[in-house]
Structures are given as structure tokens and as C-alpha cells.
Amino acid sequence: MSNQSINANRLLGRIRELGEIGRDGDGRLVRLAASDSEKLGRDRFVAWVKDAGLDVAVDRIGNVFGIWRPEGTGDRPPLMLGSHIDTVVNAGMYDGCYGVLSGLEVVETMKAQGFVPSRPIAVAAFTNEEGVRYAPDMMGSLVYAGGLGVEDALATMGTDGTTLGEELERIGYAGPEEPGFLQPHAYIELHIEQGPVLERESILIGAVENLQGISWQRVTIDGDANHAGTTPMSMRRDAGHAAARVITFLHDRAIASNTPTVATVGCMSFEPNAINVIPSRAAFTVDLRDPDEDRLKAEEAELVAFLDRLAEEEQVSVSVERLARFEPVKFDAKIVGLIEKAAKDRGLTCRRMTSGAGHDAQMIARIAPSAMIFVPSVGGISHNPKEFTTDGDLVAGANVLLDVVRQFAREEE
Ligand code: GLV
Ligand code: MN
Ligand code: MN
């Protein structure tokens, strides 16, 4: 058991402080990417990074880095830690923030303990991980890893009609660095599980070995607006009803499949959206995920076939726009092993697992060996203000991160 640990009060205090930044008039945590409220969160993080004596760097897509370059580490590729501080609407306070603040905490702990790593350590807060305001999700890390051009990403139009590049300029986080300017030696992301597995099995640490594929699409169905009282059911081209059929199709199929496939329709709008008018248009999103790429492809194909049938049967027209598509990712076996060993050495129960959520690690894995550490989410709840992880579990996870980083930072190769 290691006798060196992170400063629990500092970490927990910061998680709570950041969790209060970006509350709306109803007390909901809404820190959407590149918004005014997210700027306040970024400013707070940057202030902590500076207080810790780290260099601050911001790249063109707004990713923020706190970089510790101890003497003698020169230009060696840094070990990178991090996650994101943007949130969904009415979010919990742990998703993303826990990983960013734990990364900073680990660095501050190492500095305070006089540990000198053999390479720099960078703590990243990636832009727009959530993808709520601008699609795709994990955008900052995707651009950083070269999977999306920076100009294309900056030109992305948000759900509120804004442009990401203009918003980053406006909030002062359109930085000068080229995304990818630091080639990580490895990337490790600590995160709450956001699902029920660890709690159900009374296990404290998840060594995340893979992450499922994600498919995001926007479907638009066009029918005819008409009078709700006078139009016989047989004479309708009801876009709303057609959309409802897609929801039940996806839901029933995922349940009947008895596989890990999950399907969600999370956004929907009708036009003209009036109580006594048959909807002429329904626009909605489809989030499909599966750890198996072939199965995910098959599910996408089944949806296409269903939409074709639907167009015929409901006499509507259907168009589909792809918003995001990420294949499943396998994390680095060596880092996963180090995580398991660190947990064991601290006497913490640990299991290997798959991430159901998307994470920046999924993108950075394209350019560097990467892996993730999970801690339990009470009730498996996330993307919800009820999201909760106990202080003890948060601290345990950060200590495992500390041990893994210490191990890595000693390597000379
Ligand atoms: C990110 O939070 C995602 O998995 O959608
Ligand atoms: Mn997250
Ligand atoms: Mn999230």
C-alpha cells in the first residue's frame, strides 16, 4: 500500500467549486462548450493551473493545457492526463471535471512530494467533449488527434445558430497553438463510470480496456400539416407519428437483440408544434452504440431499411444526416495492466471493463497509448444532477491515477 496520496481536501473542494460555476437561474448546471458559463469554468481551471506553477497553453480549438516541465525533461513527449469541463444541460458535477481536476491534483501532489518525473506532464481540458451544442462530441480531442480539420471544426454551427470558432474567440479561448502541438507519450483519463457496473459488483476501480462505437444521426421526416379535427386518420401524412414509430423500432430492437446494443432518441422537435395541427415535420436525433463494430454497422443498416419502409407506409419523406461516427476503441494493454496493479497495490478491488460513454481518451488513443480509470457512480446515474460518487471513491481513483503516473513518469524510454 502506497503511503503517498493526493490532497483529498483540495481535490474535493475544487470539484465542488467548479460544480457551482455555470448554474442557471433554476440552479441547473449548464456549462455548454464555449458558452459564457463555460468560460467561467475555464478561467477557474486556468487560475488553478497557474497557482500550481504550471505553464498554460491553449490551442486553436480551445483545448487548454497545464504543463509541468521539470528541469531536465527537455522536449520529451509529455505524459498527458485530462478530460473535459463542458457539461450537458442540467448536468452533474463530476463528469469530465473529475478527470481534469484529478490530473492537476496528481501533478501538484508530485511537485509537493519532490517527485521529479522523467518527462513533462500535461493536464488537458478538451473542448466540447459533450457535443450538446456542437456535434460531433469529443470534438477538441478529435481535432487534437488529427481526426477532424481545425477549420472545419471551428466552422461548426451550433444548435443555437452560433459558430464554435466565433464563440471561442468571444470567450477568449481561441488559442495560438496548433492542435497536436504536444505529442503525448501516453494519455490516461480518470472518469466516473456513469453506469451501474462497479456499484452493482461492489468494485472500486474499473480498468477500462475498451470503449464502444458511437453513431449519431439526425433524422428529418416531412409529411403534411393539416387539421387535427377534420383529417381522417387514413388521410394523414403525419410526421410525428412516423417519428414515434422510429423510437419504438429502435427501442424494441435493442431490447430484443439481447446484446449490448443501446439506442436513444434524445432530441425531438415538431413543426409547426401546435396542439391541433398534424406535424408536417419531425426532426430527431438517434444515438446508437455498440462495442462491436460489425453489430453497430448492422444496426445502422437496419435503421436505414426501416426508414425506407416507413417512408412508404406513412407516405412521408425521410432524410438522414450523420452527426458523429466513432468506431469502438481498444485501449493500451500495458496501461490497463498498470492500472490493475496500482489498484491491487492499494488494496482496492478492480475489474476490467468497457466504457459505455464516449470519452476524450477514445480520440487520443489514435495518437498515443491510452487507457482510462473508472470509479463507481451511485445508482449508475449520469448526465443528471443526481450524478454522485462518494468522496472516498473519488479520492481512491485519484490515488490510483497518482500511482500509475508515478510509474509512467519514471520510465526513461
Ligand atoms: C459523452 O458524454 C457521451 O458518451 O455521449
Ligand atoms: Mn465525460
Ligand atoms: Mn458526459
Q: How many angstroms separate the alpha carbon of residue 357 from the centre of ligand 2?
A: 7
SS3 211: strand
* CA angle (396 as vertex; 391, 399 as ends), nearest 5: 125
Residue-level pLDDT at 1: 40
Q: What is the pLDDT of residues 232-243, one digit of tens each?
A: 999 999 999 999
Q: What is the pLDDT of residues 367-396, one digit of tens each?
A: 999 999 999 999 999 999 999 999 999 999
pLDDT of 412 higher than 70 = no
* Rounded percentage of the chain residues whose pLDDT exceeds 70: 99
As a whole number of angstroms, the distance between CA 344 and CA 375 comes to: 14
As a whole number of angstroms, the distance between CA 151 and CA 159 comes to: 19
Point out which residues pair with 215 in neighbouring strands.
288, 325
Q: Is 137 in the pocket of ligand 1 (CB under 6 A)?
A: yes
Q: Which helix (H) or strand (E) holds 234?
A: none
Quick one: CA dihedral 8, 395, 64, 78, positive or negative?
positive
Q: Is 299 in the pocket of ligand 1 (CB under 6 A)?
A: no
Q: Is 80 in the pocket of ligand 1 (CB under 6 A)?
A: no
Residue-level pLDDT at 339: 98
Q: Looking at 141-155, 255-269, 302-316, 397-411, which range is the least confident one?
A: 397-411
Rounded alpha-carbon distances, angstroms, from residue 276 to 50, 83, 315? 58, 46, 20
Mean pLDDT of 261-289: 98
Q: Is 363 in the pocket of ligand 1 (CB under 6 A)?
A: no
Near ion ligand 2, which residues have CB within 5 Å?
95-96
Q: Is the bond leading into 184 cis (omega within 30 degrees of zero)? A: no
Q: What is the pLDDT of residues 326-350, one digit of tens each?
A: 999 999 999 999 999 999 999 999 9
Provide the 8-state DSSP code for 19. H
Buried b / exposed e over 272-301, threshold 16 CB at 10 Å, is eeeeebbbbbbbbbbbbbbbeeebbeebbe
Q: How confident is the model at residue 143 (pLDDT cuts 50, 70, 90)?
A: very high
Cα atoms in the 13 Å half-sphere on the side-chain side of 259: 18
As a whole number of angstroms, the distance between CA 27 and CA 204 comes to: 31
Q: How many angstroms separate the alpha carbon of residue 264 from the centre of ligand 3?
A: 15
Which numbered atom of ligand 1 lies nearest the CA of 289? 4
The answer to whether 361 touches 138, Cβ cutoff 8 Å, is no
Q: Supply the angle between the helices 36-51 and 164-171 in degrees, to the nearest 10.
A: 50
pLDDT of 2 higher than 70 = no
Residue-level pLDDT at 411: 66
From the CA of 138, the nearest ligand is 1
Distance between start and end Cα atoms, the chain = 27
As a whole number of angstroms, the distance between CA 270 and CA 110 comes to: 54
Q: How many angstroms separate the alpha carbon of residue 69 from the centre of ligand 1?
A: 32
Whether the pTM exceeds 0.85: the reply is: yes
Which numbered atom of ligand 1 lies nearest the CA of 358? 4
Q: How many angstroms separate the alpha carbon of residue 106 from the centre of ligand 3?
A: 22
Q: What is the pLDDT of residues 350-366, one digit of tens each?
A: 999 999 999 999 999 99
Mean pLDDT of 293-303: 98
Mean pLDDT of 292-305: 98
pLDDT averaged over every residue in the chain: 97
* Domains observed in the chain: 8-212+328-410 (3.40.630.10), 213-326 (3.30.70.360)
pLDDT of 157 higher than 50 = yes
Mean pLDDT of 247-264: 97
Residue-level pLDDT at 83: 98
Q: What is the pLDDT of residues 81-135, one digit of tens each?
A: 999 999 999 999 999 999 999 999 999 999 999 999 999 999 999 999 999 999 9
SS3 28: coil
Residue whose Cα lies nearest atom 2 of ligand 1: it is: 130
* Rounded percentage of the chain residues whose pLDDT exceeds 90: 97
